[in-house]
Amino acid sequence: MKNAQTMESEDLLTKRNEYLIPATSHYYENPPVFTKGLMQHLWDSEGKKYLDLFAGVVTVNAGHCHPEIAKRIKAQIDTLQHTTTLYVTEPLIRLAIKLAEIAPGDLKQSFITNSGTEANEGAALLAKAYTESHDFIALRHSFHGRSIMGMSFTGQSNWRGGGPYVAGVQFVSGAYCYRCPFGKTYPSCNLECAKDVENVIRTTTPGKIAALIAEPIQGNGGVITPPPEYFKEVKGIVKKYGGLLISDEVQTGFGRTGTWFGMEQWGVEPDIMTMAKGMGNGLPIGGFITRGEVASKLKPGTHFCTFGGNPVSTTGALANIEVIEKEHLKENAASIGSYLKEKLLELQQKHPLIGDVRGKGLMLGIELVSDRKTKQPAMAEMKRLMEICKDNGVLIGKGGLDGNVVRIKPPLCINKSDVDFAIHVLDEAFGKIA
């Protein structure tokens, strides 16, 4: 097997189409077959090397096959793989202690799942138990998972096929400043989008809610980054109406934005934080964490997850967190992220296709528009950009309601010369498309 052009790779694609349900789509017309990963790089079956700026959808935070994490996972597999939480095991407890140490404020008690979707499900269950309310507020352009509850919280039509959904979820506009739903401009807008949360609660709920769920920066929706005061204002309103603030940190967690968790960027302590992706550097693990007082409302023995908290995933997650600490990867995300953002802003001066550059740390987005005045989403150009970048050895992600936002969310270990290489490839690609 060589690459997507060879017989063997064609076979792989044919078999993929035959044996996987068609809903599992793949990037690229001629997808490379990846066979190896190390830190910020991937290699395909032909031996071609790629700089990975998407990290397996914002997941490989410490780096592909990070040797120290891999070593600890292997040792655990050879010792004890699975028992369930009905029995006591050390790796789960050690991970929970570490999560309490890095989580903001009083967030201390956690429940471990296999995925972000399950984490959001559990958080919703807990919020209902704690508040004895059933109504939720979510943000437009959000993505919270693929279960019925996850889809009910998701504010994008392309991720909402197959309803009906859970009743009692209302949507607020969110803070999409580049396309302000109120037609205003920050800061003279007076944060109308945040203030509207109160109108929505008062007009579409019983006047009391279980929770508002939000991503600190909306990832899948197109790296939509709110103004710094947005979540402070929103939290005040949520508290006024008896609700909890659930921060979905599935993409923003574990150093991605330059702090352990994304909500720290906004100086706000959520009541519940959900996590996955970068938590395990590629292992299937997720979870939610909250204050003891909130956690106590789920009665003992009423929540369970067969694989959640298994020794292998929890060992890997703890190793991942310790590597992020030891290798100063949050700090790297902050400094390399601002260098990268500066360079992207320079590209924006040169290429009219770039309508907006936004994000924090190593969670950056470039919104492509075919006309800066009308802000017409440039979907076809986005597809070409992805193909050209891939051909030149750089993998980028795609997001946004119209699929016109470049998502740059690499492993947090990238360095300045990786950024320079990526900018060179992007610059040439934008030039070609123009």
Ligand X SMILES: Cc1ncc(COP(=O)(O)O)c(C=O)c1O
Interface contacts to ligand X, rule CB under 6 A: 115-117, 120, 143-145, 215, 219-220, 248, 250-251, 276, 286
Nearer to ligand X, 103 or 213 (CB): 213
Q: How far apart are CB 146 and ligand X at their closest, in Å?
A: 6
Which residues does residue 398 pair with via DSSP β-bridges, in sequence order? 406
Q: How far apart are CB 219 and ligand X at their closest, in Å?
A: 5
Q: How far apart are CB 86 and ligand X at their closest, in Å?
A: 24
Q: How far apart are CB 242 and ligand X at their closest, in Å?
A: 24
Closest-CA residue to 220 (of 174, 166, 261, 183): 174
Instruction: For residues 400 and 142, give the distance between their C-alpha atoms in angstroms, rounded to a whole number.
Output: 10
Which residues does residue 394 pair with via DSSP β-bridges, in sequence order? 51
Q: How far apart are CB 115 and ligand X at their closest, in Å?
A: 3
Nearer to ligand X, 284 or 352 (CB): 284
Nearer to ligand X, 2 or 26 (CB): 26
Tell the residue number behind the tokens 């790297």, with chain if given: 332
Nearer to ligand X, 117 or 225 (CB): 117
Nearer to ligand X, 147 or 370 (CB): 147
Nearer to ligand X, 197 or 214 (CB): 214
Closest-CA residue to 364 (of 217, 204, 188): 217
Instruction: For residues 261 and 137, give the distance between their C-alpha atoms in angstroms, rounded to a whole number.
Output: 21
Contact 303, 391 (CB under 8 A): no
Q: How far apart are CB 117 and ligand X at their closest, in Å?
A: 3
Nearer to ligand X, 215 or 418 (CB): 215
Instruction: For residues 56 and 282, give the distance between their C-alpha atoms in angstroms, rounded to a whole number.
Output: 8
CA distances from 126 to 84, 154, 211, 289, 296 (A): 21, 19, 10, 11, 9
Amino acid at 361: G
Instruction: For residues 215 and 232, give the distance between their C-alpha atoms in angstroms, rounded to a whole number.
Output: 14
Q: How far apart are CB 250 and ligand X at their closest, in Å?
A: 4
Comparing every residue's Cβ against ligand X, the nearest one is 116
Closest-CA residue to 288 (of 267, 310, 308): 308
